[in-house]
Amino acid sequence: MRHLPAALALFAALAAVPAPAPAQALSEAQRAEVVEILRRALREDPSILRDAVTAMQEAEERDRAEAGRAAIRRAADQLFRDAADPVRGNPRGDVTIVEFFDARCGFCKQLHPSLEALIRRDANVRIVMKDLPVLGPNSVLAARALLAAHRQGRYAALQDALLTHRGEPTEQVLRDMAQRLGLDWARLRREMDDPAIQRRIETNQRLAQSLGIQGTPALVILGAAGPGASQLVPGAVDLAQLERMVAEARGAR
């Protein structure tokens, strides 16, 4: 409120400029007078400009947040209720977290233990996995392997192995992992080339694009109040942040 007198003075000065006819622009003299009034007000109180910029940034952030919520509402069925998606945690959990991830992504590897700890500590959280290979051919190879493993009921086991693996998920590495985890490698390798799996990856990519997701990991959290109260969280977060977001989702009724 301390800037109100200066702001009022500025608006009063602007109001004192003679208004042109509706179809006419300001004259050169009028424009010069307005510019001088603005300069004088900013010299006297430069914080007016800072406050105006801050207000504009806050308004833009609110607009972005609302646009994000609107995009989530439009994509709610595809995000939260696609029966073909791999699910971890409680399939009937009251809070759903959708994770877009790349098996080669370092930040996804950083986030993974926190998500695992969350579902161990909270038996009412559902995590939906959306494979989003954005880091090159080996990322695509790993995503195809994961989606093929899902058909054998071993998605979670292979995901754990990939997100704790420190090297490249080459075909030989995938074969060793699959055999160690008891997957049928011949079937897995054959189904990795199934066009339906490639279409699944492309569907995830289009969905991520529609939500403005620009990298991995990215989380979308659905609370008890439904898609309108959902939030998009880019980047890795720790367990405390996850638990806080889940609590907020439960409280948004």
> Is there a single domain that holds both residue 136 and residue 232?
yes
Residue 62 in any domain: the answer is no
Same domain, residue pair 226 and 177: yes
Q: Are residues 169 and 224 in the same domain?
A: yes
**59: confidence class by pLDDT, cuts 50, 70, 90:** low
Averaged pLDDT, 32-42: 84
Q: What is the pLDDT of residue 17?
A: 47
Confidence band of 89 (pLDDT split at 50, 70, 90)? very high
Does residue 67 lie within any of the structural domains?
no
**Domain carrying residue 8:** 4-56
Same domain, 90 and 149: yes
* Longest CA pairwise span in the chain (Å): 83
CATH label of the domain that carries residue 194: 3.40.30.10
> Does residue 18 register a pLDDT over 60?
no
Question: Are 127 and 160 members of one domain?
Answer: yes
Same domain, 91 and 119: yes
Residues 36 and 97 placed together within one structural domain of the fold: no
250 pLDDT above the threshold of 80? yes
- Rounded to whole angstroms, the Cα distance separating 52 from 127 reads 41
> Which position has the token pair 């998606």?
85
Q: What is the pLDDT of residues 117-146, one digit of tens each?
A: 999 999 999 999 999 999 999 999 999 999
Q: Do 239 and 148 share a structural domain? A: yes
- The b/e string for 114-144 (b: 16+ C-beta within 10 A; e otherwise) is bbbebbeebeebbbbbbbbbbbeebbbbbbb
If one counts the domains in the chain, the total is: 2
Same domain, 80 and 116: yes
Q: pLDDT at position 71, please?
A: 78
The arithmetic mean of pLDDT across residues 156-180, rounded, is 96
Question: Per the domain annotation, does 95 fall within a domain?
Answer: yes
Residue-level pLDDT at 2: 44
- Can you tell me the distance from the alpha carbon of 76 to that of 115, in angstroms, rounded to the nearest whole number? 22
253 or 231, higher pLDDT: 231
142 within some domain? yes
Residue showing tokens 């075909």: 171
Q: Exposed, middle or buried by CB within 10 Å (0-12, 13-18, 19+), for 12?
A: exposed
Indicate whether 11 and 86 sit together in one domain: no
Within-domain flag for 64: no
The answer to whether residue 69 is domain-embedded is no
Q: Do both 81 and 35 map to the same domain?
A: no
